[in-house]
A and B are shown apart, each in its own frame.
Chain A
Amino acid sequence: MSYFLQQLINGLTLGAIYGLIAIGYTMVYGIIGMINFAHGEVYMIGAFVSLITFYVLGALGVSYVPLALLIVLLSAMGFTAVYGWTIERIAYRPLRGSFRLAPLISAIGMSIFLQNYVQLLQGARIKTLPPVVTGEFHLMESGGFVVQLSTLQIIIVALTVALMAGFSFMIAATPLGRAQRACEQDMTMAALLGIDVDRTISWTFVLGAALAAVAGLMVTLYYGVIDFFIGFLAGIKAFTAAVLGGIGSLPGAMLGGFIIGLIESFWSGYFPSEYKDVAVFGVLILVLIFRPTGLLGKPEIEKV
C-alpha cells in the first residue's frame, strides 16, 4: 500500500511535467493541424536556460530560494518563448499551404538542428544542478518503507495546476483565447472577420514554449541532471499524452500527461523498468489504433 502511494506521488509529479509539455503540442495541433516535432527540443532549451540562470544567480550570490526560483522561472519562460516564436517564424510560417508532410519534415529538421546546436554550444556531457529546493514530509510508514512527499513535488503539482487554471481562463475569457478558438474552427473565416491569424499562431507558439520552459525548469530541479538529448524522449511521451487525452483538447492534454506519468511510474515500480519506455510507446500505438480521437477529443472528418 505504501509502495503504491509512493508510486502514485511520483507518477503525478512526472505527469504534471508531461502535461505541461503536452499543452504545447495540443494547442499547435488544434490551430494549424501539425505536429510540432521540435517541441521536445523547446523543453530541453527551457531546461538549459533554467540551469544557466541558476548558475549565474549562484555566481551573483542570490541565495534566497523563492526569489531565485522566481527569477529563473521568468528567465526560462522569457528566453524559451523567444525560441518558440523564432521556430514558428522560420520553419513553419513559410510552409502554410505547402503539401501535407512539409511542416512535419521541417519540424524534424528543426529538432535535429536544435539538438546539435545545444550540443555544440553547451557540450555533450550531462549538466548537474545541486538540489535547490529541499525538505520533505513523511506521510506514512509501514514495514520499514517510508512514503515521502517532497516540497518540490508539491511545488511542481501546485504550479502546474495553477498554470492550467490560468490557461483555461485565458482560452475561455480573453481576446487572445477567443482568437485562438476562432482560428481553430476556421482560419479563413477568422481572418475575414479581422483576426490577425499570423499573430494568433505566433502567440500560440510563444505560450506553448513558455509552458515547456516551466516543465524544463521542473525537470532540472527534480532530477538535477540534464543533457542535450532529454527533449527527444520527453517530447514523444508528451505527444503520447496529448494524443491519449485527445489532441486539440487542453484538459485532455493535462489528463493524458497524468496518465502517462502514472503508467511510467507504476510500470517501473512493478515491472522491469528497462521496458517503461516501451510501455509508453505501446500505449501510443494502441491509442492511435483503437481510439485515435483520444479520451476527450472530437472526431475529425477529413474533407476533400
Chain B
Amino acid sequence: MAAAVAASGWIGRIKEAALAGLVAFALALPLAGIETTGAETGPGFVTRFDWVAIAVAAVFCGKLLLGFLPSQLLPHQRAARSVAASEGRTILYIGLGAAAFALALPLMPFSSRYLVDLATSVLIYIMLGWGLNVVVGLAGLLNLGYAAFYAVGAYSFALFAQDFDLSFWQALPIAGLLAALAGILLGLPVLRLRGDYLAIVTLGFGEIVRLVLINWGSVTGGPNGINGIPRPTLFGMPFAPAAPPGATTFSQFFGLGFDPVQRVIFLYYVILLLALATNWFSLRIRRLPIGRAWEALREDEIACRALGINPTSVKLSAFAISAMLGGFAGAFFATRQGFISPESFGFQESATVLAIVVLGGLGSQLGVVLAAIVLVTLPEFGREFDQFRMLLFGAAMVGIMIWRPRGILANRAPSIRLKPKGVS
C-alpha cells in the first residue's frame, strides 16, 4: 500500500485522505452529529454538526500526515520484536527500586492518607494483574471472567469471617483455596477447548457468577451485598479506638494515640506483602518444570503433546493458581472495603484487569505495575479523565495489538533457553 501511495504521489495521497474523511463523516454523522435528548419531554434531539466537521478534518489531516511517515513506522513492518536478554538486568534493578520505593512510601514526607489509600488501590490491581498474567501471559489462555474468581475470594472471605468468626489471616487461605477450586471446576470441562472458545466460556462463567451473586439473596445478600466485614488485625490486635473485651488495640499496645491512618497504612503493607509474594511466586514458578510447560504450551500445543506434556492438566494448574491469586486479592478487597456487592465484580472489572495485563505486556511483571498505576490514577485527575478512561483503554488495547503485540514492556521471550552451539 505504501508503495502505491508513493507512486501516485500527491494526488493519490489527497484522494486517500479524502476517502478517509468521507468515511469519518459517515461514522460521525448519526452518533456525534445528533444527540438524542429528553426522555421526559418526548423524543427530541440537538444537532452538533461542528463535532462532525472536527472529526472529518482530524481524520483527513491525520491520514494525510500518516502518508508522510517513514514506512518502517507503519504497523505491519514490525510485527514481533522482543526485548533483548541484556535488558533483563535493567528490568530487575528497576523492579527492586520500585519495591523499595513502595516499602518506604508511607514514611515519605510527602505521603498522606489519600496517597496511601490510592497506592493500596493500585496494589490491588497490580496483584490482580499478576494473577491474571499467570494464565494469560504465561499459559496463553485468555480469561475474560477473572472477576468471578475475585468475587469468589471476596465473598467466601466475607462469609467465613462473618459466620465462622475467622480472622483475616485464617480466612485468607480459605478464600484462596475456594477460588482455586472454582478455577478447577470451570477449567476441568472447558480447558480442552480452543483458545478463543475458552475465552468466551470464561466470559459466560463470569456472568453466571455475577448473576448468582445478585439472585441468591439468602446467602450473598443479593444486590445489597454483604456489610460489616471484619477488618484485619495484627496478631489479634485490632485497629480501633477501643478494644473489645480481652484484647488490646494496636495503638494501646504500642502506646500510641489512636489514629485511623494507622489502619490505612497497615492495610497498605498487607497488600504490598501479598503483591510481593505473588510476584516472587510467579517469577519462581516460571523456572519450575510446570512454569516452563505453561510457556511451551503457549507457543505450540501440538509440539507439547508430542513431547508428552498433558495439556489439560498443565492448563488446569495455571488456571487454578491464577484463580487462587485472584481469590487472595478478593479477600483483601473485602476486608479493606468492609462491604462488597455484585456490582464490583462485573465484566467491566474483568476487562480492566485484562487491559492492565495486555497494556503492560503479556507475561511482563513490571509492565503490569506501570499499566495498573496509569489505569487507577487516571480518574484521580478529574472527572473528564474518568469518563475517557475506558474509551482510551479500549483504543489502547487495539493500538497495542497493532503496534506492539507483545506489550509496552515486552518480555515474552522464553524464561529459559538453550545456549546456541559454539558459544560457551
Contacts and interface: CB of A to CB of B under 8 A. Distances in A.
- Answer whether A and B are interacting partners: yes
Interface of A: 34-35, 45, 48-49, 51-56, 58-59, 75, 78-79, 82-83, 85-86, 90-91, 94-95, 97-106, 108-118, 120-123, 125-130, 232, 236, 239-240, 243, 272, 274-275, 277-278, 281-282, 284-285, 288-289, 292, 302, 304
Contacts of A274: 211, 214-215
Residue in B35, B76, B397 whose Cβ sees the most chain A Cβ within 10 Å: B397
Given A95-B401, A105-B397, A108-B351, A121 B32 contact: yes
Contacts of A126: 39
A293 B358 CA distance: 30
B401 A98 contact: yes
Given A94-B75, A101-B142, A284-B200, A277 B211 contact: yes
Contact of B31 (A59, A86, A104, A118): A118
Contacts of A272: 215
Given A52-B30, A79-B27, 11 more contacts: A52-B31, A95-B401, A101-B142, A106-B398, A109-B396, A113-B398, A114-B394, A272-B215, A274-B211, A275-B211, A289-B189
B201 A59 contact: no
Nearest to A50: B30
**Which 4 interchain pairs have the tightest Cβ spacing?**
A109-B397, A113-B394, A112-B394, A281-B204
A154 to B, nearest CB: 25
Residue in A85, A116, A120, A125 whose Cβ sees the most chain B Cβ within 10 Å: A116
A277 B205 CA distance: 11
Given A79-B29, A95-B401, A285-B204, A110 B394 contact: yes
6 contacts: A99-B405, A104-B142, A114-B394, A118-B31, A285-B204, A292-B193
A159 B388 CA distance: 38
Contacts of B400: 109
A104 B354 CA distance: 12
B30 A53 contact: yes
Nearest to B406: A99
Contacts of B194: 302
Q: How many residues of B sit at the interface, in one of the four size bands?
A: 35 or more
B370 interface: no
B74 to A, nearest CB: 9
A197 B189 CA distance: 37
Interface in B156-203: 189-190, 193-197, 199-201, 203
Contacts of A110: 394, 397-398
B398 A288 contact: no
A94 B402 contact: yes
A90 B215 CA distance: 40
A112 B390 contact: yes
B402 A278 contact: no
B205 A112 contact: no
B343 to A, nearest CB: 14
B371 to A, nearest CB: 13
**SS of B interface (majority):** helix
B36 A127 contact: yes
Contacts of B32: 121
B393 interface: yes
B36 A51 contact: yes
A91 B214 CA distance: 35
Contact of A109 (B30, B214, B398): B398
A64 B144 CA distance: 46
Contacts of A34: 196
A75 B144 CA distance: 34
A239 B196 CA distance: 12
B207 interface: yes
A55 B44 contact: yes
Contact of A111 (B44, B195, B394): B394
A282 B35 contact: no
A55 B45 contact: yes
Given A48-B30, A97-B79, A130-B43, A236 B207 contact: yes
A98 B144 contact: no
B342 interface: no
B75 A127 contact: no
B205 A113 contact: no
A129 B358 CA distance: 39
Given A49-B30, A58-B43, A130-B43, A284 B405 contact: no
Given A281-B207, A292-B193, A35 B36 contact: no
A122 B35 contact: yes
A102 B401 contact: yes
Contact of B208 (A90, A101, A282, A292): A282
B140 interface: yes
Contacts of A52: 30-31, 34, 36, 45
B394 to A, nearest CB: 3
A117 B20 CA distance: 19
B36 A302 contact: no
